[in-house]
Amino acid sequence: MTDQIAPPGFRHGLLAALPIVMGYFPIAFSFGVAATRAGLSLPEAVMLSLVIYAGASQFLALALVTGGAPVLVAAFTLIAMNLRHVLYGPALMKEAGKDATRRHAWAWAWGLTDEVFGQALGALSRGQRFSEPYMFGLGLAAYASWVLGTAVGGFAGGGALEAWPAVSAGLDFMLTALFLALLLSILSRAALPAILVAVLATVIGTLMWSGTAGVLAGMIGGALAGMVPGWSRARRLA
């Protein structure tokens, strides 16, 4: 009976993205304000969101660019911080199953941010069928809200949040809080060891080296910990 249920479509993806949109827009607004304050023009600020689309990493990119860092240094730093995204597509398709279509993966994979990945993975874990139109709706809504938020923040100008310091401080944590909420929605006993290893590796890497090293350590540690149950099953089958 489950196989006869039609997979979710583009509209369902748009609706499922509403929590992400509500989280992305104010943070992107804050980025637009910060970019204007740093001396970038409105088109330059929007272009950063259009091309890079890296969430919190864009604030680092802004600091590197305005601080006079070489372009190659800035580029490699951002790549290192976002290497985890390489794993999102394979992990999502593994959860979707071998029969899931991948025809347009090259296009919707562009929108696989942390939060979009968490929302899609959570939907699959709750029994929803994989659908490329759903992925397009989910990713497009998130992307549009980020770009639009940047444009509105840039238009408002660099002094838009100066009278609201508490709001400005809250915006800094909103992206983290959104991803944490999505992570908790797919939390299970089987995933708990990998999550704990990832958290521990991230903390150690950050304290011993830097935030970028911590992200990389957490990504690698969590991935390896998640593979251990698979190795155990492979040994039993052999």
Q: What is the pLDDT of residues 83-104, one digit of tens each?
A: 778 888 888 988 888 878 888 8
Helix (H, G, I), strand (E, B) or coil at 159: coil
Indicate whether 235 pLDDT > 60. no
- Look over the chain and give the mean of its residue pLDDT values, rounded to a whole number: 81
What pLDDT is attached to residue 233?
Answer: 45
Q: Residue 31 in contact with residue 4, Cβ under 8 Å?
A: no
Burial of 207 (0-12, 13-18, 19+ CB in 10 A): exposed
Query: Can you tell me the distance from the alpha carbon of 131 to that of 195, in angstroms, rounded to the nearest whole number?
Result: 27
Q: Give the position of tokens 């489950």.
A: 2
Q: What is the pLDDT of residues 153-178, one digit of tens each?
A: 998 876 766 777 776 666 666 656 66
Q: Residue 161 in contact with residue 33, Cβ under 8 Å?
A: yes
Indicate whether 13 pLDDT > 90. yes
Indicate whether 115 pLDDT > 70. yes
Q: What letters, b where the CB count within 10 A reaches 16 and e where it falls short, cover 102-137?
A: eeebeebbebbbbbbbbbbbbbbeeebbbbbbbbbb
Could you tell me the two tokens for 174? Answer: 């909103």
pTM score, whole prediction = 0.71
Spacing of C-alpha 224 from chain mean position: 20
What pLDDT is attached to residue 234?
Answer: 40
What pLDDT is attached to residue 15?
Answer: 95
Q: Residue 2 in contact with residue 127, Cβ under 8 Å?
A: yes
Of the two residues 6 and 104, the one the predictor is more confident about is 104
Helix (H, G, I), strand (E, B) or coil at 182: helix
> Residues 30-50: what's their mean pLDDT?
89
> Residues 112-137: what's their mean pLDDT?
90
